[in-house]
Structure 1
Amino acid sequence: MSLPPESREEAIKRLTESASALEARTTREASNEAAGQAAAGQAWRIIADLFGGVFVGLALGAIVDWYFHTNPWGLIGGVLLGFAVSVWMAWSTAQRLMAQAKASGVEPKSVPFDDDEED
C-alpha cells in the first residue's frame, strides 16, 4: 500500500520539525558534555588544593627545621598544618560550588550504587 502524496509545504514543514528536534537534541548533548568538563575541572581544583596545602606545609616545615635546627618537629608541624589548611580550602571550595549549583537551579544527579562486590 502506498502512502498518499503530501504537498510540498507539508513535506517542508515535517523536515523543518525533524531538523529542529535534531538540533535541540545535539545542543543538549553538547551542553551536558561542557557541564561534565566543568565538573571535572572543579574536581581537579579540589585535588590540587589538597595536595598543594600538604606540600606547602612540608616545605615550610623543612625551612623551619633548617633555620631553627628543630628536626623533625618543624616538618611534622608543617605537614599537619598544611593538611589542615588544605582540608579547609577543599571544604570551602566545595561549599562555594554547591552554592553556585543551587543558585543556578541545577539538581545534582545521584550516582548509582555499584554492588558488584566479589566475595
Structure 2
Amino acid sequence: MPDAAAVWVGRLRRIGRAKLNAWGLTALVDDAQLLISELVTNGLRHSTEQQITFRLVVGTDVLVMEVDDGSPALPRLRQADSDALDGRGLLLVDAVAASWGVSSDGTRTWCTLKFPDTARRSR
C-alpha cells in the first residue's frame, strides 16, 4: 500500500476510535478499527477513481461501516495461501462483523457490528 493510503487508513481508524468513545461505544473500538482497516485498505486498493467514501453510521442497535470505492468489481471471499501477504481482508471482515455485504452494483462494501447489551441499555 502506498504511504499516502496507509496514512488515510490510520487517520480513519483514529477518527472511528474517537467517535465510538464519544458515543459511549468503547466496547466496539477494537473490532471497528480492524474492520475500518480492512474496508478502507480494500477500497483504496481497488478504487477506480483514486478516491473512496467512508461512512460510519450509528443505528438503533448496530454500527454500520461502509466504503464506496467506485469499482464495479465484486469483492469476494478467498482463501489465501499461508505465505501470501494479502488476500485475507474479507475473511477477517466475515469473522468479526455481525454481517457484511456488497451493493448490487459492486461499488459499496459494508459491514455491521452489534452493540453490546450495556451500550443498548444506555442509549
> Normalization by structure 2: what TM-score?
0.30
Higher gyration radius (CA): 1
More helix, by proportion: 1
More strand, by proportion: 2
> Normalization by structure 1: what TM-score?
0.31
